[in-house]
């Protein structure tokens, strides 16, 4: 099983599936189909004859029940895209076997080092096999590790029919990284009673709370005049954008927050004297604090517009998803099942709030309660990303045990 999940993972990360938040299509990038087509054929070759890929790059498949026992239909979901924050092209994974707890040189030429001094959780994996980047791309464990784990678990169940189970639904989505992963997901067609996303981080993570999330796109119109004749005439859009940013609370940036604390995160800033654009993601677990953050950013924009003539700033504020806790707590047994599955597999459950979001957040509001289980990776969205092979293997075991619990618990 260990080699199976690793082999799949390596095949999947070799395919660039980076999404694009500037695109309005679904999927946002056509290259996501390159992985999707491979996955559908793989599922069919395993025996899932109904595996399908639609025009929007959603994959659905069914493992039929092999028992007459009344069992809830369980869904397993992961996303195919990788983050726009960094390149996912030409990923060159490196293997650190029997990790010794020391610094890992990812790239000698660029002197890029993955160090426990910066990432102390590395020390939790001494003696294990780590898959890292070469320091020039992300790895793609978010969420190709989750896909590999689901496919490996389903393959194991197909090869071991003595393990009884109810109907299991498999769903792979595009564009999760840009908050649009379930825009066109047909919950009724999927047909699951409960589902789990395999999209969490470190081994043991189990999450049923996530951020409320919004995206703020702010355009600033300046006025460009020759600098030698600019007095009382020029309005530098970049400086106005910087002034706007300075009005937001510094202590509510991601680098100063943790646990349930929300933030404003500046993710993009482009421009020149004439025109600039800045983008923020706004996050908070508490719905009222989330709404207050949106009010503040509107007020900041209004203030700048009153200060400068011609209302130079425009704001596009869009909600992306909400905290799934409200929808999962009424069926909390889905969390308890996952917790028990981990314990029976020798994994210590860590029930923590997601400092991010998953497809499961929106799916929960669409009528499909969907907590999140670890996929094993660390340092997502950047060149320091890594995943312990043993964590992926344990994730496969947890999926199998979870299915067993729904049958026999």
Q: Residue 71: CA atoms inside 13 Å, Cβ hemisphere, count? A: 23
As a whole number, mean pLDDT of residues 320-336 equals 94
pLDDT band at 409 (very low <50, low <70, confident <90, very high): confident
pTM of the entire predicted model:
0.87
Q: Which of 81, 177, 205, 209 is catalytic?
A: 81
Q: Can you tell me the mean pLDDT for 279-302?
A: 97
90 backbone φψ class: left, alpha, beta (φ>0; ψ -120 to 50): left
**What percent of the chain shows pLDDT beyond 70?**
100
**Which helix or strand (DSSP H or E) is residue 149 part of?**
helix 141-159
Q: Which long-range contacts (CB under 8 A, 24 or more apart) does 243-250 make?
A: 243/304, 244/218, 244/220, 244/278, 244/300, 244/301, 244/304, 244/313, 245/278, 247/300, 247/303, 247/304, 248/296, 248/297, 248/300
57: left (phi over 0), alpha (psi -120 to 50) or beta: left
Average pLDDT, integer, range 195-208 = 96
Domains contained in the chain, CATH given: 2-210+323-408 (3.40.630.10), 212-321 (3.30.70.360)
Considering the candidates 21, 176, 205, 252, report the single residue annotated as catalytic.
Answer: 176
CB atoms inside a 10 Å sphere around CB 45: 10
H or E stretch at 212: strand 212-221
pLDDT of residue 308: 96
- Name the band, by pLDDT with cuts 50, 70 and 90, for residue 358: confident
pLDDT, tens digit, 9 for 90 and up, residues 139-192: 999 999 999 999 999 999 999 999 999 999 999 999 999 989 999 999 999 999
Residue 81 appears among annotated catalytic residues: yes
Bridge partners of 95, per DSSP, are 131
Flag whether pLDDT at 2 surpasses 70: no
- Confidence check: pLDDT of 326 > 70: yes
Mean pLDDT of 13-34: 96
Q: What is the pLDDT of residue 42?
A: 98
176 is catalytic: yes
Would you call 107 helix, strand, or coil by DSSP? strand
Q: Does the pLDDT at position 1 exceed 70?
A: no
């Amino acid at each position: 099983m260990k080699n199976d999940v690793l082999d799949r993972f390596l095949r999947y990360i070799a395919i660039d599936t980076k999404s694009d938040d500037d695109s309005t299509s679904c999927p946002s990038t056509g290259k996501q189909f390159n992985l999707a087509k491979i996955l559908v054929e793989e599922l069919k070759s395993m025996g899932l004859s109904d595996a399908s890929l639609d025009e929007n790059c959603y994959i659905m498949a069914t493992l039929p029940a092999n028992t007459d026992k009344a069992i809830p239909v369980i869904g397993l979901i992961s996303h195919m895209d990788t983050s726009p924050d960094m390149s996912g092209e030409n990923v060159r994974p490196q293997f650190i076997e029997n990790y010794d707890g020391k610094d890992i040189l990812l790239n000698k030429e660029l002197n890029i080092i993955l160090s426990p001094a910066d990432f102390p959780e590395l020390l939790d994996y001494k003696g294990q096999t780590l898959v890292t980047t070469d320091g020039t791309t992300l790895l793609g464990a978010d969420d190709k590790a989750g896909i590999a784990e689901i496919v490996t678990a389903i393959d194991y169940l197909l090869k071991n029919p003595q393990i009884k189970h109810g109907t299991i639904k498999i769903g792979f989505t595009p564009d999760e990284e840009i908050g649009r992963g379930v825009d066109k997901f047909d919950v009724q067609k999927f047909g699951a009673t409960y589902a789990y996303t395999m999209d969490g981080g470190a081994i043991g993570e189990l999450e049923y709370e996530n951020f409320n999330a919004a995206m703020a796109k702010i355009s600033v119109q300046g006025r460009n005049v020759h600098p030698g004749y600019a007095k009382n005439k020029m309005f530098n859009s970049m400086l106005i954008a910087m002034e706007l940013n300075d009005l937001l609370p510094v202590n509510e940036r991601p680098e100063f927050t943790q646990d349930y604390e929300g933030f404003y995160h500046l993710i993009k800033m482009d421009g020149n004297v004439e025109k600039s654009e800045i983008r923020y993601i706004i996050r908070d677990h508490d719905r009222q604090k989330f709404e207050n953050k949106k009010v503040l950013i509107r007020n900041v924009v209004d203030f700048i517009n009153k200060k400068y003539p011609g209302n130079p700033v425009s704001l596009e504020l869009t909600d992306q998803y909400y905290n799934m806790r409200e929808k999962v707590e009424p069926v909390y047994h889905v969390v308890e099942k996952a917790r028990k599955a981990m314990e029976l597999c020798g994994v210590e459950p860590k029930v923590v709030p997601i400092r991010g979001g998953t497809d499961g957040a929106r799916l929960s509001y669409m009528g499909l309660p969907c907590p999140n289980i670890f996929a094993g990776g660390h340092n997502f969205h950047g060149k320091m990303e890594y995943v312990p092979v043993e964590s992926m293997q344990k994730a496969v075991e947890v999926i199998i045990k979870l299915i067993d619990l729904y049958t026999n618990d």
